[in-house]
Amino acid sequence: MMKKPETSKDAADKLVKNIRRKARQTYSAEEKIRIVLAGLRGEESISVLCRRKAV
């Protein structure tokens, strides 16, 4: 079976996906618990927490 040649758009899409995958921030279980508890305590709004943790 012959492999379909990649177009430049397919190659660009793959490159972008790989960059996004590597750029994702990973949080430990403890950090996730801290974020959720801060939201449940109501000290800050959820939108503020999300903005602060996204950076």
Report which of 41, 21, 45, 44 is spatially closest to residue 33, judged by C-alpha positions: 41
Q: Domain for residue 4, yes or no?
A: no
pLDDT one-digit tens code per residue, 6-31: 678 888 888 888 888 777 778 889 98
Residue 49 makes CB contacts below 8 A (sequence gap 6+) with: 35, 38, 39
What range does the domain containing 16 cover?
A: 10-54
Radius of gyration of the chain (CA): 19
pLDDT one-digit tens code per residue, 25-45: 788 899 888 888 888 998 888
Q: Domain for residue 18, yes or no?
A: yes
Q: How much is the pTM?
A: 0.47
% residues pLDDT > 70 (the chain): 87
Q: Domain for residue 37, yes or no?
A: yes
% residues pLDDT > 90 (the chain): 4
**What band does 46 get if pLDDT is binned at 50, 70 and 90?**
confident
